[in-house]
Amino acid sequence: MENILEIRNVSKKFVSNNREILAVDNLTFDVKYNEFLSIVGPSGCGKSTVLRMIAGLEKPTSGEILMEGRRIEGPGAERGLVFQQYTLLPWRNVLDNVAFGLEIRGVPKKERYEIARRFIKMIGMEGFEEAYPYELSGGMQQRVAIARTLANDPKVVLMDEPFAALDVQTRAILQHELLKIWEKEKKTVVFVTHSVEEAVYLSDRVIVMTARPGRIKDIIPIDLPRPRKRDSLEFIEYRKRIVNILKDEVLKSYNMYRYAKNGIGC
Amino acid sequence: MNLRKFIAPLLGLALWELLALWLNNPVVLPPVEEVIKVLINPQISILGTGTLLDNTLVSIKRVLSGFILAGAVGVPLGILMGYYPLVMDLFDIIIELLRPIPPLAWVPLALAWFGMGETSMLFIIFIGAFFPILLNTIAGVKGVPKILIETAQTLGAKEKDILLKVVIPASLPSILTGLRIGAGIAWMCVVAAEMLPGSSAGLGYLIMYAYSLSRMDVVIACMIVIGIIGLILDRGLRYIEDRYFKWRYLIK
């Protein structure tokens, strides 16, 4: 079997202020094993909703999502989600945060600390094992959150704009690190972002979504060897192409916000 | 330490002393040194009802018993009410109706149910401490950011893990605040409860007894002890909050 995830005719409606809003409209796509897939789209297009549905935190209103042929009914450890917001448990230090998933699954203390230390090293945070989240910068917290998800060894890593709140430099470093980890650990990654450059830099394929209700506008395979150079001609070509596809949609979503003002956060 | 902070209290003491000398009537206002004399000799029997120390210990023991009981019921119930809507729906109306009733309004019922004595006092203290503990616990549990729960779920956490490893630790600071407020109210309640008929020991009892003998120096000494213990109770719990729950400022 080639596909780890199959998204079949998935739609999602939300009720807000007694009005039904169609956030995601009849989405169908597959994610291959070991693939790095990005989803880009204008804000409010439902891309986060898609990720939350794959994670099992939201149920599709219609359609179904299959993982390795089995229907997803709820959240589970095989689909790890890295949120956009900082989500470390503030009363746990870095080591215990990274080991959290393993602890839940009953891995003995010694073993889970060993694994956690390995991932803390991987994200370049050795020496911070005993630090608490409030002592860390946003970028460090996000790195720990990524380590926490990876240490739990999920088959699919879902990432919801994980670098959105970070400055450009930290972002570039983390993108680089993420690719290294992805190549080494052979994970499947579904990555939501509003940055086209980020999507082109990271992904095997980029799904471009329309403005709300979110549909698939195009799927673009990025045929560039890694590590990719952001200033290479081909890179810029890909970027332009996707930006052009997105442009109309961003305008649409902008007008939608201006005239309707009842958006759902993305 | 800021010395300016002591100016007003010292002036107050001086004024008290002057007023006492001028009035020259210890039944209305005893001089400062009379009160201090009672305070620095806590081991001497007062008015044949035991020492100041003994009576203080009796009060502290009562407060602790009632307070621990209130915590033992209030914290678990609060966690269940905050986490399970079903439990909330079951108890919400009863709690909302009973909550505004001052602890002392329960006195007649307490006397009718439990008679004059320890059990009644314990009941009044329990009522006083219970509601702040319960309400703060509920607020703490309800205030746990949903995203922390979702994070745990995507790491494979089941209901039990979420409750034990996310919800309860995240609401601990709020629970502790409830305990601190509850302890303060319990302390006020014990003094009031000890003034009830049938009481034969404790600071509240000592105050009323000293009053009946016009010994205002003892009354004021007891009041000062009550104030100091209340302060220590509050500061002690506040210290724990600050020391062990620094992280709580991170949860919005």
Whether residue A266 is contained in a domain is answered as no
Q: Left (φ > 0), alpha (ψ -120 to 50) or beta: where does A44 sit?
A: left
Average pLDDT of the segment spanning B62-87:
95
Same domain, A38 and A68: yes
Of the residues A153, A169, A192, which one is the last residue of a structural domain?
A: A153
Q: What are phi and psi of B132, to 5 degrees?
A: -60, -35
Does residue A263 carry a pLDDT above 50?
Answer: no
Nearest alpha-carbon partner for A252 in A50, A51, A43 = A43
Whether residue A33 is contained in a domain is answered as yes
Confidence of residue B249 (pLDDT cuts 50, 70, 90): low
Whether residue A83 is contained in a domain is answered as no
Q: Could you say which of A85, A101, A134 has the minimum Cβ distance to residue B155?
A: A101
* Cβ neighbours of A76 in B, within 8 Å: 154, 156
Does residue B151 carry a pLDDT above 70?
Answer: yes
Q: What is the DSSP string of A68-113?
A: TTEE--S--TTEEEE-SS----TTS-HHHHHTHHHHHTT--HHHHH
Using an 8 Å CB-CB cutoff, list residues of chain B that contact chain A: 147-148, 150-158, 161, 165-166, 169-170, 172, 245-251
Residue in chain B closest to A99 (alpha carbons) equals B155
Same domain, A181 and A251: yes
Does residue A65 carry a pLDDT above 80?
Answer: yes
Residue B78 near residue B133 (C-beta atoms within 8 A): yes
Task: Domain count for chain A, please give it.
Answer: 2
Least trusted range by pLDDT, from A217-221, B153-157, B212-216: B212-216
Does residue B172 carry a pLDDT above 60?
Answer: yes
State how far residue B169 is from chain A, nearest Cα, in angstroms: 7
Q: What are phi and psi of A5, to 5 degrees?
A: -125, 140
- Does an H or E element contain A6, and which? strand A3-16
Does residue B225 carry a pLDDT above 90?
Answer: yes
Whether residue A140 is contained in a domain is answered as yes
Of the residues A124, A153, A182, which one is the last residue of a structural domain?
A: A153
Q: Is the ipTM of this complex over 0.85?
A: yes
Confidence of residue A257 (pLDDT cuts 50, 70, 90): low
Put simply, whether A85 touches B (Cβ < 8 Å) is: yes
Same domain, A104 and A57: no
Average pLDDT of the segment spanning B218-226:
92
Of the residues A128, A153, A178, which one is the last residue of a structural domain?
A: A153
Start-to-end Cα distance in chain B: 33
Residue type at position A166: L
What are the beta bridge partners of residue A20?
A15
Confidence of residue A261 (pLDDT cuts 50, 70, 90): low
Residue A156 near residue A78 (C-beta atoms within 8 A): yes
Q: What are phi and psi of A191, to 5 degrees?
A: -125, 120
Same domain, A126 and A162: no
Strands ordered across the beta sheet of A70-71: A19-32, A3-16, A62-67, A70-71
What count of Cα atoms within 13 Å lies in the side-chain half-sphere of residue B38? 24
Whether residue A218 is contained in a domain is answered as yes
| CB atoms B169 and A148 under 8 Å | no
Average pLDDT of the segment spanning B64-84:
95
Same domain, A141 and A173: no
Whether residue A265 is contained in a domain is answered as no
Domain extent at residue A124: 88-153
A19-32 and A3-16 strand pairing: antiparallel
Q: What is the pLDDT of residues A137-164, one digit of tens each?
A: 888 898 899 999 999 999 999 999 998 8
| CB atoms B155 and A104 under 8 Å | yes
Q: What value does the mean pLDDT of chain A take?
A: 90
Q: What is the pLDDT of residues B22-50, one digit of tens each?
A: 998 888 899 888 889 888 888 777 777 78
Q: What are phi and psi of A211, to 5 degrees?
A: -65, 165
Confidence of residue B101 (pLDDT cuts 50, 70, 90): very high
The pLDDT assigned to A260 comes to: 55
B119 vs B122: CA distance, rounded Å: 5
Whether residue A47 is contained in a domain is answered as yes
Same domain, A136 and A201: no
Nearest alpha-carbon partner for A162 in B145, B203, B151, B115 = B151
The pLDDT assigned to A164 comes to: 85
Residue in chain A closest to B145 (alpha carbons) equals A87
Q: What is the pLDDT of residues A78-117, one digit of tens each?
A: 999 999 888 999 999 999 999 999 999 999 999 999 999 9
Same domain, A185 and A256: yes
Does residue B201 carry a pLDDT above 70?
Answer: yes
Does residue B9 carry a pLDDT above 60?
Answer: yes
The pLDDT assigned to B252 comes to: 42
Residue in chain B closest to A89 (alpha carbons) equals B148
Residue type at position A49: T
* Cβ neighbours of A104 in B, within 8 Å: 152, 155-158, 161, 165
Same domain, A250 and A170: yes
Residue written as token pair 């009946």:
B212
| CB atoms A90 and B165 under 8 Å | no
Exposure class string for A10-49: b at 16+ Cβ within 10 A, else e: bbbeeeeeeeebebbbebebbbeeebbbbbbbbbbbbbbb
Same domain, A172 and A227: yes
Average pLDDT of the segment spanning A39-58:
91
CATH of the domain at A215: 3.40.50.300
Average pLDDT of the segment spanning A236-244:
94
The pLDDT assigned to B57 comes to: 93
Same domain, A100 and A173: no
Confidence of residue B185 (pLDDT cuts 50, 70, 90): very high
Does residue B148 carry a pLDDT above 70?
Answer: yes
Same domain, A188 and A242: yes
Q: What are phi and psi of A188, to 5 degrees?
A: -100, 130
- Go through the domains of chain B in sequence order and give each one's CATH number: 31-250 (1.10.3720.10)
A17 vs A143: CA distance, rounded Å: 37
Residue in chain B closest to A79 (alpha carbons) equals B154
Q: What value does the mean pLDDT of chain B take?
A: 90
The pLDDT assigned to A112 comes to: 95
Confidence of residue B250 (pLDDT cuts 50, 70, 90): low
Same domain, A172 and A252: yes
Residue type at position A108: P
